[in-house]
Structure formats: structure tokens, C-alpha cells
């Protein structure tokens, strides 16, 4: 078993709406990457609409933010990734994914919190 004092904290990195993991997170300075194990994940859905943005989104909302599509699927995508890829010490993200992750923590975090991690 790996010595916990030598293991770098493992952080799941989630980009914002309309972005990709390459655009946002892959240019971290070596001073950070030497201390953290950063794991980057792209959102599962290409950006919808006519904005001209070529990136991904965790879910889609209409202009008024009154209708959402792929919301549950996006939450499940992140949860499944975390369950399949082991324990994470933290999550880093911004923009759309912060609101999204807040909902997850409030309603579904028991799924991850009750898991026995190796």
C-alpha cells in the first residue's frame, strides 16, 4: 500500500461550459503538477445551440434557464467516472460545473461517501 505521506493529492479537474480539458487545465505550472495528481475530464456533451462555441457542456439550459436537458446524465457521467477511477481527494472546476456539482453534493453525495475506497 502506498505511503499516504508520499502520495500526491488526487484532484478531479472539471472545465466550465463550452470548454475542454485541454483549453483550461493542461497548462498548469510544474510547481503545481509536482505536488498534485491532476486528473482532467471533458464534459460528455458537445455544446448545443448557435453560439459558435466548439467545446463541451455538462448539461444544456435554454436562454431563460427554465429548461434543462442532460442534467441527470451529466451528473451520472461524473459520478460513474469517479466510481470507476478510484478515490479523489478533491474536485476543481468553475462556471457551469460548480452549480452542477453543488446539486450533486446536496442530493447524491451519499453514493460516493458510503463507498469503501482502497
For residue 21, the domain's CATH number is 3.40.50.1820
- Residue 5 is assigned to a structural domain of this protein: no
Dist CA 95 CA 80 (whole Å) = 21
Q: How many domains does the chain have?
A: 1
Residue 114 pLDDT = 61
- Residue 89 is assigned to a structural domain of this protein: yes
The answer to whether residues 88 and 12 touch, using CB atoms and an 8 Å cutoff, is yes
Dist CA 33 CA 112 (whole Å) = 25
Q: What is the pTM of this model?
A: 0.76
pLDDT tens, 20-52? 888 877 778 889 889 999 999 999 999 876 566
Q: 7: closest CA among 107, 102, 89, 109?
A: 89
Residue 70 sits in which domain range? Answer: 10-113
User: Residue 42 burial by CB count (10 A; 0-12/13-18/19+): exposed, middle or buried?
Assistant: middle
Amino acid at each position: 500500500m502506498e505511503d499516504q505521506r508520499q502520495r500526491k493529492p488526487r484532484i478531479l479537474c472539471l472545465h466550465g461550459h463550452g470548454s475542454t480539458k485541454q483549453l483550461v487545465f493542461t497548462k498548469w505550472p510544474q510547481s503545481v503538477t509536482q505536488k498534485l495528481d491532476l486528473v482532467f475530464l471533458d464534459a460528455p456533451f458537445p455544446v448545443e445551440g448557435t453560439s459558435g462555441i466548439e467545446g463541451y457542456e455538462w448539461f444544456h439550459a435554454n436562454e431563460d434557464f427554465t429548461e434543462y436537458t442532460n442534467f441527470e446524465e451529466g451528473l451520472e457521467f461524473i459520478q460513474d467516472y469517479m466510481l470507476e477511477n478510484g478515490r479523489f481527494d478533491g474536485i476543481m472546476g468553475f462556471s457551469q460545473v460548480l452549480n452542477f456539482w453543488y446539486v450533486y453534493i446536496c442530493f447524491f453525495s451519499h453514493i460516493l461517501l458510503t463507498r469503501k475506497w482502497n
